[in-house]
Structure 1
Amino acid sequence: MIESLKLRWKRGEVTLGAWCMIPSSLTAEILAKGGFDWVLVDMQHGCMDYQTAVEMIRAIDLAAITPIVRVPWNEPGIVGRMLDAGAMGIVAPMIQGLDEARRLVEACRYPPSGRRSLGPVRVGARDGMGYVAGANDRVSVIPMIETVDALEAVDDIAAVPGVDALFVGPFDLSFSLGLSPGDNDGKPEFDAALAKVNAAARANGLATAVLSTAKLAPLRARQGFQMISVLTDSQALGAAAGASLSSARSAIAEGVHHA
């Protein structure tokens, strides 16, 4: 079985990942084989449906790395389905306080730690019946901190038994803080928000996670984040396409100029 991200975080490791918005098992497979520590299937803002997400998880499994799913909402039905499909971590958006964090843990954990229903059909085919005994220890529960309300409640959220990491959504958090959506490093309220989340996590032995870029990854690691995305498939494809086209056009124009 793949080593749990939780064990790697406890050793102080920084894990780097890729973010999937494109509904394609092939895209997920290509990213997974790129050497990342984890690949996330985004069912909140990504374009995939449930069946496509299942196939994307299976494609990530081929590379023997950790499949993570961001669910559309903190709802037990979809959380359970994605775990049964093989997700080894659940990122839940817009967690606002203590009760919502508790409900997320309950949805991700088998009894007596939670209320997850037993039916690991696809993940059982991958891991065998040993999956059930170890699932509560291996699956990462990751609430998102991305609003002012969540920021005010972050100490309570971090203290919920069963929470493994706090995930900062910089776009929505900036929006909620009255800033332009995005990374607002250097703005006092944004910097203070990141520091507050990291402090709450450290005080409770948790990791922190963040949606980021390759350029910002070193800064985020210095700030204490241990789960850092370095690219999004749709943005990476668009950037690569634009760069290749620009290079080709420049080379052709240069060739015509010298002809």
Structure 2
Amino acid sequence: MSNQFTQDANDQKKWIAPTLTQPANLQGALKSGKLLFGVALTYPSRHVAKSLAMTGADWCWLDAEHIAWTQTLLVECIQIIIHESGGKMIPIVRVPSSTAYDYMMLVPLGSSSLTWNPREEMKKVIGACRFPPIGHRSYPPFTFIPGLNDHTPEGETVFSLANKHVAIIPQIESGVGIKNLAEIVAHEEVSAFMIGPGDLRLDLGLPQNLDGDEPTFTAAMETASKVAKERGIPIAGFAVGPEMTKRRIDQGFRLLLGTMDLYAIIFGVMTDIGTGKAVGEAHLQAKASGTV
């Protein structure tokens, strides 16, 4: 592994599962202390998923709560991301609801992390996400073919390896969540926690934004940093632009969501079109005035 603080392609390869049907080792990546930069897939599209998988991002966030994913399309995009990236891009799914069905559907299909809004007891969530003896989720009878895609290191099974690879990441986006944060992340099966700044700010009575310097928001982020440091786990969340990125790193963020397809397409096109118009206008104005 390289000595740099961010991941390169060789670092990414370390977390690839024995077969691409199995979830990548996100727990290991988080424990490495490296900065993991990700992209959000906001278009529920196989084609966009395939394109993002080629970008070299460390992880891809699929938000199944705010985006109209069908279960079939979500599963297909998870697998597209894994296979098109050669296993180097790790899919992280925000679970759309707090039911055991959602957790059990996603774990055996390649998702290396599950985030959700922690409105229920942690034991219930962990039980649904982990195979025995840690949890009680059912084995996937139609996922692994003996001798073909169930290869594991000696002494491991696809079930024990999934328990060691898949990360459980609570989504914290309310004042109550911040108040109870230490209790929420106390269980050893929690690998990190994710801050949802927009909803957190709204819940605190502040304007919707990804960041801010209001005392109540600053205090909430300081609490998050303190709990993360005491628990020894990283924080996940948005880090858009140089200044926010530096601030989030100092606050203990290591799973950084730096961009999303929606904004990249819209603002990228606006920038390129704006540049083209400015260059074209300036060039012809200069020719018209005889200066070139």
Q: Same fold (TM over 0.5)?
A: yes
From 206, 210, 214, the counterpart of 1:183: 210
Compute the RMSD of aligned alpha carbons: 2.0
Alignment correspondent of 1:56: 77
Q: Which residue of 2 aligns with 1:241?
A: 269
Name the structure 1 match of 2:222.
195
Q: Is the 8 A contact 2:210 2:238 kept in 1?
A: no
In 1, the alpha carbon distance for the partners of 2:69 and 2:280 equals 38
Aligned residue in 1 for 2:29:
8
What amino acid is aligned across from residue 31 of structure 1 in structure 2? L
Match in the other structure for 1:205: 232
Partner residue, 2:20: none
Instruction: Choose which of 110, 119, 129 in structure 2 pairs with 1:108.
Output: 129
- Note the 1:211-250 alignment, pairs <5 A: 211-215=238-242, 216-250=244-278
Question: Secondary structure of the equivalent of 1:226?
Answer: strand
Provide closer, same or farther for how the CA distance between residues 121 and 88 of structure 1 changes in structure 2, counting only shifts above 3 A.
farther
- Taking the aligned partners of 1:151 and 1:47, their CA distance within structure 2 comes to 28
Give the drift of 1:46. Answer: 2.0
The answer to whether 1:25 aligns with 2:37 is no
Number of aligned positions between the proteins: 255
Letter in 2 for 1:86: G
Per-residue deviation, 1:164: 1.1
Q: Is the 1:85–1:120 Cα contact (8 Å) retained in structure 2?
A: no
Pick the aligned partner of 1:95 from 105, 113, 118: 118
Which SS does the other structure have where 2:121 is aligned? helix
SS of 1:121 mapped into structure 2: coil
**CA–CA distance in structure 2, aligned partners of residues 213 and 47 of structure 1:** 24
1:122-142 deviation per Cα after TM superposition (whole angstroms, max 9, x unaligned): 4x3695264222111110000
Equivalent position amino acid for 1:128 in 2:
D
Q: What secondary structure sits across from 1:234 in the alignment? A: helix
Alignment partner, residue 3 of structure 2:
none
**TM-score normalised by L of structure 1:** 0.90
Partner of 1:85: 109
> Which consecutive residues of structure 1, in runs of 5 or more, have no partner in the other structure?
none
Deviation at 1:252, TM superposition (A): 3.2
CA pair 178-156 structure 1, distance change in 2 beyond 3 A: same
> Offset of 1:195 from its aligned partner?
1.8
Shift of the 218–120 alpha-carbon distance from structure 1 to 2, 3 Å rule, reads: farther
- Residues of 1 paired with 2:63 and 2:263: CA distance? 14
Matches of 1:73 and 1:193, distance apart in 2: 25
The answer for the alignment partner of 1:161 in structure 2 is 188
The alignment-based identity, stated in percent, is: 26
Query: Counterparts of 1:196 and 1:120 in 2: how far apart (Å)?
Result: 43
Residue 150 of structure 2 corresponds to which residue in structure 1? 128
Aligned AA (1:41): L
Structure having the higher helix fraction is 1
Q: CA deviation at 1:57?
A: 1.0
Larger Rg: 2
